[in-house]
Amino acid sequence: MKWLLGITGAVVLLLIAAALVLPLLVDTPHVQGLIAESAAQALGRPVKFASLSIALLPLPAVELRRLEVADDPAFGPAPFLSLETGRLRLRLRPLLVGRVEFGELLLDRPTIALVRRADGRWNVASLGGGAPEARGPARTGRGSGGTGGLPSGAVVSTFGSRLRIERGSVTYTSRAARTAATPWRLEDLDLTVSERGSALAFEGGARLAPGALVARIRDGRLALDGRGLLEAPLSAHVSLDGKDLGGLVAAAAAPTVEVAGALRGTLAVTGTLGSPRAVGDLEVASLRLTHTNAACPEPKRRTLALEGLKVAAAWQNARFTGQPVTARLGGGTITAGITTIHDADMRVRITDLSIRALPVERVLVDFLCRGYAIAGPLDLTGTAAFAAADPRGTLSGAGRLHVGPGRIVGEQALRLADRMLRVGGAVSSLLGADAPARPAASPTEFESITGTYQIANGVVTTRDLVYTSRVMKVAVAGDYALSTGLVNLTLLVSHGRGDVKAVVSGPTASPSIRVLSSSLLRDVDPKRAESGLQELLRRFRRQ
């Protein structure tokens, strides 16, 4: 116990002595000037801090308060980096002989502002003295070219062998024309950067908000070999873990449909710091799409779940590619190649779309509550492209579809499209002496619906859509506008008693119908035929 008390007392005395001697060993004004000058020279930016003090514990260090690194003057007066407290660890052995050497730079809760101008230039491009055209007045600095000249390990070498960022925050602002402010930011940034020969090694993690997507970085390497900061070769492995994608998707595209699901993935990052490339695999076990539709019966709020969503992902030059993207829905499969171009219009392109045995009623009835819904297995191949801000008005593409066997289930389809299938027999009965008191049972079951389609700026056109049932065949040709719901279709109904040709036009909720010709009605006045068909439809609507 005596020995223990003696050792403890000796340690306390040493700490007291160190606290008294340390300020004498460190020339505070000299260190303050050294830090400001060295940091400004390494970064090519003015560096300032409000005060400096010497701390003994946990290790001897210089504490900097209210530190600021200025931004490129071309990007405005706001600081590029600011924080309340920074610590520069002092190496003990050189300190004992009166020489100040730094061992580690610790930045606690820094805020870093990344800004991109309309011409595509970043505010980090001039770090280290690069990009003379964007720096304003000339200043000393090293580096080359217009992409940033930060020398290899400049900050790390100047302030010791390691740089640590704890609980940092990174904001992003785009000043590109026609682009709204982006709310994305990195939070809880923990990053360790150390010098490894001619390169910098780094590892850490951060949380992307909104969206709570956590990224972990390992085996990071940045080779600052004099070619400029943004041209420095980059490599790293990144793992992604997001409990819910809703916030991230909403920030990216502001969709009318809510998106939810947990994301996991791994990416290999290469390229350069200014133009990174990422390749890897992403997976969402259950992607849920939810929207509220007042036209639906209860419940108004509907959810569609895609299972086993997997993406072979790639990112480069503001372009995301999933090739392929696969998912399952109710026993059916979906495969496609998807490319999103992150420009002012946020364009999406879908290639090699292949849908097999998908129960179409899960989408049209259970989720969208479409009045012209059908039920049955859907096979479809095609392509599509649209702008995320207005998918209906900008949708373009082409494809081929096959549905069936199935049945018509949508209310409007039952009132109009399905009833049109028996127009031949019903019209002949209505105009003849044998008109029944009520039409025969509606043949809502069909063997197949097949055809091809073209889409241009939200207008769907078909020339060979064919509906086939046991009692008749209907050939459809014409246009349908997705945004307005207007149709202009020509129907040729082939029945056992003959053919009837008619035009359906106007809004899908209440279209008008005009009979053009009929092999059943050669000896009947066309006006009488139209009148009879309208009366027929009125009867159908009353049922």
pLDDT at 205: 95
**Quick check: is 53 in a domain?**
yes
Q: pLDDT exceeding 90 applies to what percent of the chain?
A: 33
- 470 compared with 425, residue with greater pLDDT: 470
**Quick check: is 460 in a domain?**
yes
What would the mean pLDDT of 447-470 be, rounded to a whole number? Answer: 94
Q: Under 8 Å CB-to-CB from 306, ≥6 apart: which residues?
A: 284, 286, 287, 288, 289, 327, 328, 329, 334
Tokens found for residue 528 = 């009488």
How crowded is residue 120: how many other Cβ atoms within 10 Å of its Cβ? 10
Q: At which of 220, 242, 264 does a domain end?
A: 242
Q: What is the DSSP letter of 522?
A: T
What would the mean pLDDT of 424-432 be, rounded to a whole number? Answer: 48
**Quick check: is 323 in a domain?**
no
pLDDT at 239: 96
pLDDT tier, 281 (very low <50, low <70, confident <90, very high otherwise): very high
Strands (E) located in 37-179: 47-48, 51-55, 61-69, 81-90, 102-108, 111-116, 162-174
- 160 compared with 53, residue with greater pLDDT: 53
pLDDT at 34: 65
- 305 compared with 129, residue with greater pLDDT: 305
Task: Quote the number of domains for the chain.
Answer: 2
Report the alpha-carbon distance of residue 264 to residue 268 in Å, rounded: 14
Tokens found for residue 255 = 């969709």
**Quick check: is 417 in a domain?**
yes
Q: Which of 29-38, 58-67, 195-204, 497-506 has the lowest mean pLDDT?
A: 29-38
- CA angle, residues 24, 25, 28, in degrees to nearest 5: 75
Question: How does DSSP assign 471-519, residue by residue?
Answer: SEEEEEEEEEETTT-EEEEEEEEEETTEEEEEEEEEETTS-EEEEEEET
**Quick check: is 247 in a domain?**
no
pLDDT tier, 3 (very low <50, low <70, confident <90, very high otherwise): low
What would the mean pLDDT of 477-491 be, rounded to a whole number? Answer: 92
The answer to whether the CB of 486 falls within 8 A of the CB of 509 is: no
Q: Is the pLDDT of residue 200 over 70?
A: yes
pLDDT tier, 94 (very low <50, low <70, confident <90, very high otherwise): low
pLDDT tier, 16 (very low <50, low <70, confident <90, very high otherwise): very low
- 273 compared with 383, residue with greater pLDDT: 383
Q: Under 8 Å CB-to-CB from 175, ≥6 apart: which residues?
A: 115, 116, 117, 118
What would the mean pLDDT of 427-447 be, rounded to a whole number? Answer: 52
Tokens found for residue 24 = 């004498």
Q: At which of 223, 242, 261 does a domain end?
A: 242
**Quick check: is 99 in a domain?**
yes
Most confident of 81-95, 167-181, 271-285, 529-543: 271-285
**Quick check: is 392 in a domain?**
no
What would the mean pLDDT of 473-490 be, rounded to a whole number? Answer: 92
Report the alpha-carbon distance of residue 232 to residue 219 in Å, rounded: 16
Q: Which of 299-303, 352-356, 477-481 has the lowest mean pLDDT?
A: 299-303
pLDDT at 1: 62
pLDDT at 543: 41
pLDDT at 251: 65
Q: Which of 346-350, 368-372, 413-417 has the lowest mean pLDDT?
A: 413-417
**Quick check: is 310 in a domain?**
no
Q: Is the pLDDT of residue 152 over 70?
A: no
Report the alpha-carbon distance of residue 334 to residue 355 in Å, rounded: 5
- 366 compared with 525, residue with greater pLDDT: 366
Q: Is the pLDDT of residue 430 over 80?
A: no
Q: Which of 73-77, 127-131, 416-420, 446-450 has the lowest mean pLDDT?
A: 416-420
pLDDT at 317: 85
- 59 compared with 521, residue with greater pLDDT: 59
The answer to whether the CB of 401 falls within 8 A of the CB of 383 is: no
Q: At which of 242, 267, 284 does a domain end?
A: 242
What would the mean pLDDT of 44-55 be, rounded to a whole number? Answer: 77
pLDDT tier, 532 (very low <50, low <70, confident <90, very high otherwise): low
User: Given the DSSP bridges, would you call strands 396-403 and 448-456 parallel, antiparallel or unpaired?
Assistant: antiparallel
> Residue 278: how many CA atoms within 13 Å on its side-chain side?
21
pLDDT at 192: 93
Q: Is the pLDDT of residue 321 over 90?
A: yes
Burial class (CB in 10 A: 0-12, 13-18, 19+), 480: buried
The structure's pTM equals 0.75
Segment holding 428, helix H or strand E? helix 423-431
Q: Is the pLDDT of residue 144 over 70?
A: no
pLDDT tier, 111 (very low <50, low <70, confident <90, very high otherwise): very high
Q: What is the DSSP letter of 82?
A: E
- Structural domain including 186 reads 1-242
Q: pLDDT exceeding 70 applies to what percent of the chain?
A: 68
Q: Is the pLDDT of residue 299 over 70?
A: yes
